[in-house]
């Protein structure tokens, strides 16, 4: 069964407690929290302060997706806010190896995210050092976009790489995940499904999470 990570980008920020309670009580596994800086992506969301509040209301793994430049400047703040997994974008890191070592030395799991145009082969010399790859299946910046179909081939290619190297790395798919495409995403080799709109804009979010989990 896949790990389900509802993205709070689509949550109700006037009543985060209610959405945290819903996810805590659901079959979801992780809280996916999207940090945007208005530079790396054309949108601004929230930072460590909001994550610290969400962390206090959460009983699950806190999966923080940084869509920011110079993530090394903030890694410690996100650790202090309660991040369990910290994911940085390969396109935002000149010294990716150093960034990953920093995240791990702070006691977090390290993830690397790839934009839809970045070849998965760019990970071939670093994959053994990371815990998670976040493959963007939309261009990062906004919830509610349409899944880019080439992602399925990218998942297969990446899964082949981890199997060949004998590595246990999560493949997380982020963007446009729905009840209709989730099964094919998992069949291609992904094991973590991020879902924002599909969960939070549905009539019964906990039931939608259950359906994604049992896909």
Distances in whole angstroms, Cα of residue 66 to Cα of each of 72, 85, 159, 208: 11, 10, 23, 26
Contact map string, positions 23 to 62, toward ligand DX5, x by CB under 6 A:
---------x-x----------------------------
Q: Rounded distance, CA 142 to CA 147, Å?
A: 12
List the one residue from 174, 177, 190, 198 that touches Zn ion (CB under 5 A). Answer: 174
Instruction: Indicate whether 71 belongs to the interface with ligand DX5 (CB under 6 A).
Output: no
φ, ψ (nearest 5 deg) of residue 133: -115, 130
Contact map string, positions 155 to 174, toward ligand DX5, x by CB under 6 A:
-------------------x
* Options 19, 34, 37, 63, the catalytic residue: 34
Q: In the annotation, is 174 catalytic?
A: yes
Classify burial at 26, counting beta carbons within 10 Å of its beta carbon; exposed 0-12, middle 13-18, buried 19 or more: buried
User: Which span sits near ligand DX5 by CB under 6 A: 13-21, 81-89, 125-133, 193-201?
Assistant: 193-201
Q: Determine how many CB atoms are found less than 10 A away from the CB of residue 70.
A: 15
Instruction: Indicate whether 89 belongs to the interface with Zn ion (CB under 5 A).
Output: no
Q: In the annotation, is 34 catalytic?
A: yes
DSSP bridge partners of 133? 112, 171
Q: Enumerate the active-site residues.
A: 34, 174
């Amino acid at each position: 069964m896949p790990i389900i990570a509802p993205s709070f980008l689509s949550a109700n920020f006037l009543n985060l407690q209610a959405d945290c309670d819903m996810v805590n009580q659901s079959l979801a596994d992780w809280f996916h929290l999207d940090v945007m800086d208005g530079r790396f992506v054309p949108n601004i969301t929230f930072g460590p302060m909001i994550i610290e509040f969400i962390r206090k209301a959460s009983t699950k793994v806190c999966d923080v997706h940084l869509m920011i430049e110079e993530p090394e400047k903030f890694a410690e703040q996100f650790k202090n806010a309660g991040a369990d997994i910290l994911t940085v974008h390969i396109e935002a890191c000149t010294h990716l190896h150093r960034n990953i070592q920093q995240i791990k030395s702070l006691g977090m799991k390290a993830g690397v995210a790839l934009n839809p145009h970045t070849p998965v082969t760019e990970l071939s010399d670093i994959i053994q050092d990371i815990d998670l790859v976040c493959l963007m299946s939309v261009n990062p910046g906004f919830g509610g976009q349409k899944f880019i179909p080439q992602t399925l081939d990218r998942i297969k290619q990446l899964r082949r790489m981890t199997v060949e190297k004998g590595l246990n790395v999560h493949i997380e798919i982020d963007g446009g995940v729905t009840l209709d495409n989730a099964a094919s995403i998992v069949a291609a080799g992904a094991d973590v499904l991020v879902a924002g709109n599909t969960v939070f804009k549905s009539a019964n979010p906990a039931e939608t999470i259950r359906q994604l989990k049992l896909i």
